Structure 1
Amino acid sequence: MKPTLSLKMIAKTYNDAINALNSLQSNYANIMAIREAGIRKNEMSLLEMREWARRIGYSTKDFNQLNVIHITGTKGKGSTAAFTSSILQKYQDKLPKIGLYTSPHLRTVRERIRINGKPISEDKFTKYFFDVWNKLDATTSSLEVFPHMTPGSKPGYFKYLTLLSFHTFMQEGCNSCVYEVGIGGEYDSTNIIEKPVACGVSLLGIDHTYMLGDTIDEIAWNKGGIFKDSTPAFTVSGQPSKGLQVLEERAAERNTVLKEVPIFKELDEINLGIAGEFQKSNASLAVCLATQALKSLNIIDTEVPLQQSSQLLPNVIEGLKDTQWEGRCQTFKKGKNNWYLDGAHTMDSMTAASGWYKDITAKSSNKKIFLFNQQTRDAAKLLENLDTTIGDAAKFDLAIFSTNVTWESGTYSADLVSMNTSKEEVENLSVQQNLATEWNKLHKDCETVVTPSIETAVKKIESLSNEPVDIFVTGSLHLVGGLLVVFDDNN
């Protein structure tokens, strides 16, 4: 009789890891129930996160050796994190390994966990993923203290990835790590970091109200929750006055001082690695965060620049110029067509994305196409905002409203599977039909098309004519990421 092999004895693959990870996503029904009940994150979510860390072999104090730069905000926190990481990489003689944890991802979930700017390999992702998975299976928690942490249970999708990032960066011996907050700050799973070397807040705006609150005051309170005792804190200039006041109060509570960062004049003379005029604010914040980290680690003795006219270090400028961040103000040519990509899911983000597209195509006489989706937020208001920002300067000849489904077959790329949207709405194209109707109210002379997949939308665009066209892709980052996956497959 042949011996029975246990699952642990069978070699696991990257696809096994992705399938296991996707099983941790909250489904649409659960998310809507939580929203309708008005349930928000609380202190228990952080207590649980610390317990998950204990069960995989770490005290949260252990993570202090990662020398974390912690970044939150509503708009631009991901770009700020990318700029900061790129600057630190210019000091690799002293900091050989720089970790970067961000969300969401575009093509592959491995993008969320990077070392020296590159996503970790499939092999490393798989190894570290099942390290965490198996350790959680082999340990338990007190059900009296943690009633939801039953034997065999796992943290949700984002919390699991946060745990995985800590484990990866610790095992890889990272010298400094840049962490982008998922949502909010106070109760975000990344906020088990006890002693970051610097904290930053990008521009505040209204988003995730069901979790963070309906006002700038409430949102700022949540964002300011990342501030730590005596850790230098920085924010961009131009914050809403109420939000800035709350951030300053939160900093005082944590025995630190919040410093406003100007937009450095020297940035007018260089081409940032991420395009868009508004990125100068994010880049300026990154300069101060990286400088503070390097100073704290005794790598440089330069004071953090806080004047518009401050002269920036050569390595800092090179880091800003070399930053790469796909899907954010990204331009490329494919065949005869010009593609302009920028994910935008808030009003502020849509204003910035639309303004960037308007400026960059101002002198183009090509026909214009608009490709859009936003499955879960108030997409109609985003469309109105886009229309107001662009005006008649870049009149669209065709508007395409697609789902985030990757392929014509009706399937998603494995790394892009999403269970947190309504399957029925996606299949019925109800969101897309409503968006087409709203767009027609704004532009009766613009042709509109609804497509069930991103691949279908791409084929529609590529079949239109022999003349070059300009295509603006915005809204959901899942749409932008899926588009890049389709292009990869077609190369």
Structure 2
Amino acid sequence: MVIRSVANILLSNSLRTVSYNFKQAVEALSGLQSNAEYIRNHVKTNADDNSVKSITIKYLERSGLTLNDLDELSVIHVTGTKGKGTTCALCECILRRSGYRTGFFTSPHLIEVYERIRIDGEPLQRETFAKYFWKVFDELEHKKEHEYDMPHFFSFMTILAFHVFLNEKVDVTILEVGIGGEVDCTNIIRNTCVAGITSLGIDHTNLLGNSLKTIAWHKAGIFKKGCKAFTVPQDKRSMAVLNRRSLEKGCQLNIVKPLEEKISKVINTNMPLEIFRLNAGLAISLANAWVTFNGFPALQNYVVEKAIEKFNWQGRYEIVSINNSRFFMDGAHTSESLEICKDWYLKNTKFSSNIKVLVFNATGDRNVRQFLKILHKCHFQQVYLTPNVAVSKQMDDVKEPIQRCQVFKRAWEELERKTGFKADSISTCVDVSGAFRKILDNNVKKCDVLVTGSIHLVGAALNVINIRKTNDSS
């Protein structure tokens, strides 16, 4: 074990308290094993699934917390393939507007890493994030037994969130699963009051399997004995797995219907109505179940309706105007969600004479050919394939992602040969900034731009939009 003198540790900590440097925190985070690297290594080594949680517990305890400490949190745990972020965000909004102090852990972030941890609906301030970050990071760094003895990125962020929520004394913790459920880092918690499962689909097959049955098995891993469990309607095979798992775990599973149409009238969102109703129905059920579980007064209908009316979740079915062009952004990353995204875009551009433009990327082991086949039906006139990077600083950083984009370009050209419909141009770009520059500066006519395929791509796009707006106003 690396041993440091007490004097050095005290000096280091005293210097750290002088300036909780956010930039250095982000740099230190980037030095941890990334989620993509972790997934590749997990698959390559065929790691024991139980080891994921046991390793997370090891680092949790090194950071100064125990599972008994986590038992103090009152948790709503949510997983699923599609809509879990939206469901969590709306559930949080309802409970916050009902007077409860909320802690919300979500992933991934769109622009800044501190967006993942929220208190009362607001992301941590940079200074606050840095303060908590260095407290946990230094503790883990001091107790390393070898050079690489640190948690990977998502595991660290999960542990950090637990520290924040306990210190901030939240009434309720809304916890969004990273991947799967059964062996996810968030699933070390034991005091789950309410568990929810959103719509299931094929995703992360290298970790969860390539069938809905195996994926459903993993998702249902968040069920705990005695908790109130809910799911939206699923296909019969998935539903059978979820029911069987709920019996194994000792909880009753309830199927939630979509939000009633009479309440849907107050919806103020670009999201397709049927999707919002599905997620909102689950969110309301989770919030109601939590107050009931804890013996609190029932939620007021007017509060729920106000939460729905004011709800906004960035990067999901979002429309932003720049220089008279419209950018339609959604982080769809499964075949099912891309079908919905495609229909949403076509509906909103049906009577538009603007140039149709696609900005696309996809990551991981996803079926990109199927994704492109779905999107090709939009008959885009311009296609830009770009890494999930707002502004690239070094070509080496985007070399591999650009190679993937070139593969996507060949797949798109193959679709053109098969269907007979050709775009006017297909380009690979080194970053999103370069793609947007070509779209906004090179086109005389207005454009309707669809940005999709990855939530990370949408985050990079929002970052570029913020930069352009700042530059335009200065």
Q: 1:478 to 1:29 in 2, by over 3 A?
A: closer
Kept after mapping to 1: 8 A contact 2:217/2:242: yes
Q: 1:231 to 1:439 in 2, by over 3 A?
A: same
2:67 to 60, 71, 74: 60
1:476 counterpart letter in structure 2: S
SS in 2 for 1:66: coil
Corresponding residue of 1:81: 88
Kept after mapping to 2: 8 A contact 1:87/1:319: yes
Q: 1:425 to 1:58 in 2, by over 3 A?
A: closer
CA distance in 2, matches of 1:433, 1:49: 40
Alignment partner of 1:386 is 2:394: no
Which protein has greater RCO, CA pairs closer than 8 Å, 6+ apart?
1
Structure 2 unpaired stretches of 5+: 1-6, 470-474
Corresponding residue of 1:326: 314
Q: C-alpha offsets along residues 93-119 of structure 1, whole Å, 9 cap, x if unaligned?
A: xx1x21111111110111110112211
Q: C-alpha offsets along residues 358-381 of structure 1, whole Å, 9 cap, x if unaligned?
A: 222223232211111113322121
CA distance in 2, matches of 1:85, 1:368: 36
1:83 counterpart letter in structure 2: L
User: How does the TM-score come out when normalised to structure 1?
Assistant: 0.86
- Pairwise mapping of residues 3-402 of structure 1 onto structure 2 (< 5 A)? 7-8=12-13, 9-10=15-16, 11-26=19-34, 31-32=39-40, 34-37=42-45, 39=46, 42-92=49-99, 95=100, 97-139=101-143, 150=146, 153-237=149-233, 239-265=234-260, 266-273=262-269, 275-277=271-273, 278-301=275-298, 313-376=301-364, 377-387=366-376, 391=377, 394-402=378-386
Q: C-alpha offsets along residues 374-427 of structure 1, whole Å, 9 cap, x if unaligned?
A: 13322121111233xxx4xx5322111112222154479xxxxxx8xx843436
CA distance in 1, matches of 2:427, 2:399: 21
Corresponding residue of 2:423: 446
CA distance in 2, matches of 1:77, 1:30: 22
1:446 counterpart letter in structure 2: A
CA distance in 2, matches of 1:136, 1:408: 31
Residue 60 of structure 1 and its aligned partner are, at CA, apart by 1.6
Residue 475 of structure 1 and its aligned partner are, at CA, apart by 0.5
Structure 1 unpaired stretches of 5+: 141-148, 303-311, 413-418
Kept after mapping to 2: 8 A contact 1:401/1:435: no
Residue 161 of structure 1 and its aligned partner are, at CA, apart by 0.2
Q: 1:292 to 1:367 in 2, by over 3 A?
A: same
1:320 counterpart letter in structure 2: I
SS in 2 for 1:16: helix
Residue 163 of structure 1 and its aligned partner are, at CA, apart by 0.3
User: How does the TM-score come out when normalised to structure 2?
Assistant: 0.89
CA distance in 2, matches of 1:30, 1:109: 18
Q: C-alpha offsets along residues 459-482 of structure 1, whole Å, 9 cap, x if unaligned?
A: 001023343221111111111111
SS in 1 for 2:71: helix
Q: 1:111 to 1:29 in 2, by over 3 A?
A: closer
SS in 1 for 2:391: coil
CA distance in 2, matches of 1:7, 1:52: 21
Which of the pair is proportionally richer in helix?
A: 2
Corresponding residue of 1:306: none
SS in 1 for 2:330: strand
CA distance in 2, matches of 1:183, 1:195: 20
CA distance in 2, matches of 1:272, 1:404: 29
Paired residue total: 454
Kept after mapping to 2: 8 A contact 1:106/1:477: yes
SS in 2 for 1:460: helix
Kept after mapping to 2: 8 A contact 1:41/1:187: no
Q: 1:27 to 1:103 in 2, by over 3 A?
A: closer
CA distance in 2, matches of 1:4, 1:137: 13
Identity %: 31
Kept after mapping to 2: 8 A contact 1:273/1:320: no
Corresponding residue of 2:436: 458
The two structures, once aligned, show a CA RMSD in angstroms of: 2.5
